[in-house]
Chains A and B, each alone.
Chain A
Amino acid sequence: MAHAETQQHPISTYFKVWGILFVLSALSYMVDFFQVQGYARWFLIILFMMLKAGLIVAVFMHLQWERLALRCAILVPPLSLLVLVALMALEADYVHLTRVLFLGG
């Protein structure tokens, strides 16, 4: 059976992405090295994390070349984790508050 669907892309694409991932990792390490704090730290960490994750999934795992049905089946369900994170953040705030109030912090 012919496999016309095999993922074949120029090797330079992988080298480029590899290089970008190295730079992004170095940048996120720099955030800690230069002790960036506060909202700037959160923003930069999340930004570099999402860029790296996106590159790995899109190029290394070939998801950008797959059909939409597979892309949706893989990428949409994890969004439900955001609901879990939101609920647990509320819960954690509440637990923290009760600990401060009743256990004296």
Chain B
Amino acid sequence: MVSQDTMHEPALRVEPAAEGGWEGMVADLSADRQAFRDVPWGKAMMWIFLLSDTFIFGCFLTSYMTVRMSTTVPWPNPSEVFALTIAGTHVPLLLIAIMTFVLISSSGTMAMAVNFAYRRQRGATAALMLATAVLGATFVGMQAFEWSKLIEEGVRPWGNPMGAAQFGSTFFMITGFHGFHVTVGVIYLLVVAFKVRRGDYERRGNYQIVEIAGLYWHFVDLVWVFIFALFYLW
């Protein structure tokens, strides 16, 4: 690791802000004090956004727990609801398992894209990001298939034929919000991949944006780990 002290000169001595009120507050909060050393602002902001997103999904999953614990009607068995029948064989949760593997693979390709970006291999970076976006789009496609299958079976946000009515509302809310995140991520990755290929970051000499986009993508995968465990397996 590079020595921190040689890279960062001691902080400038900032005169205490004399003014009060709003200007004083702005001066206090922006007085050239850096909390996250070695972290570019873009990356710090992405982390803080992801932290806020953690709370959104945390609230969704907690409310799912609340309605599932408090209902007196039996909860539909996810293992049965999400089973597929392939060539006459009944396989539980097959589609969800495939979706999990697809999303983990996309996380792997994204991690390698970040690695190649810092080696300044533009072609490989753009190709790996494109592969990530394709895997992400595949995931969304399979989710659309799953949704239409459930809607066909009569699952609605206000009720379903298998059991507790809350199953539908939490399912559509949680997977819908996650699917929306994946969709936005695919678009984000495609834009960044296009700019990598065009050489925008080569000219600037700064490939941080690939890592920042990667953080978002890994987060989407991370949320799926929790949804898979708590909603589908529980």
The reply to whether chain A is a binding partner of chain B is: yes
**Which one of B35, B70, B114, B207 has the highest number of Cβ atoms from chain A below 10 Å of its Cβ?**
B70
- Chain B nearest CB from A5 CB (Å) reads 4
Within 8 A of B (CB), among A12-54: 14-15, 17-18, 21-22, 25, 28-29, 31-33, 35, 41-42, 45-46, 48-49, 52-53
Contact string against A for B residues 200-224, beta-carbon threshold 8 Å, 1 for contact and 0 otherwise: 0000001110010011001101100
- Smallest distance from the beta carbon of B196 to chain A beta carbons, Å? 15
Q: Are B226 and A7 neighbours in the complex by a CB distance under 8 Å? A: no
Number of A-B contacts (CB under 8 A): 157
Q: Is B87 at the interface (CB under 8 A from chain A)?
A: no
Which of A45, A57, A69 meets B37, CB within 8 Å? A69
Binds A, one of B16-24, B100-108, B142-150, B151-159: B100-108
In the complex, chain B residues 142-192 whose Cβ is within 8 Å of any chain A Cβ:
none
What is the bound-complex CA distance between A77 and B47, given in angstroms?
A: 12
Contact of A67 among B36, B226, B234 (CB under 8 A): B36
The CA-CA distance from A9 to B115 in the complex, in Å, is 7
Answer yes or no: B123 CB below 8 A from chain A CBs.
no
Shortest C-beta distance, B49 to chain A (Å), equals: 11
Which residue of chain B has its CB nearest to the CB of A92?
B69
Q: Does B31 contact A (CB under 8 A)?
A: no
What residue of chain A has the Cβ atom nearest to residue B98's Cβ? A29
Q: Confirm or deny: B112 has a beta carbon within 8 angstroms of a beta carbon on chain A.
A: yes
- Knowing A8-B118, A74-B47 are in contact, say whether A53-B65 is a contact too (CB < 8 A): no
A6 touches B47 (CB 8 A): no
| Contacting pair B101 A25 (CB below 8 A) | yes
A81–B55 CB distance below 8 A: yes
B101 adjacent to A67 (CB under 8 Å): no
Chain B residues with CB under 8 Å of A57's CB are 218, 222
Complex CA–CA separation, A99 to B1 (angstroms) = 59
Selected from B70, B71, B97, B222, the residue in CB contact (under 8 A) with A25 is: B97
Subset of 20 A-B contacts with CB under 8 Å: A4-B2, A5-B39, A6-B211, A18-B111, A25-B97, A25-B104, A28-B229, A32-B92, A57-B222, A59-B111, A67-B36, A73-B36, A74-B51, A77-B51, A88-B63, A88-B65, A91-B70, A92-B69, A95-B66, A105-B72
Apart from A29-B97, A99-B72, 10 more pairs, CB < 8 Å = A4-B7, A8-B119, A42-B234, A53-B222, A60-B221, A61-B218, A70-B39, A85-B65, A88-B62, A96-B70
Closest 8 CB pairs of A and B: A92-B69, A49-B229, A18-B108, A95-B70, A5-B38, A92-B70, A81-B58, A14-B111
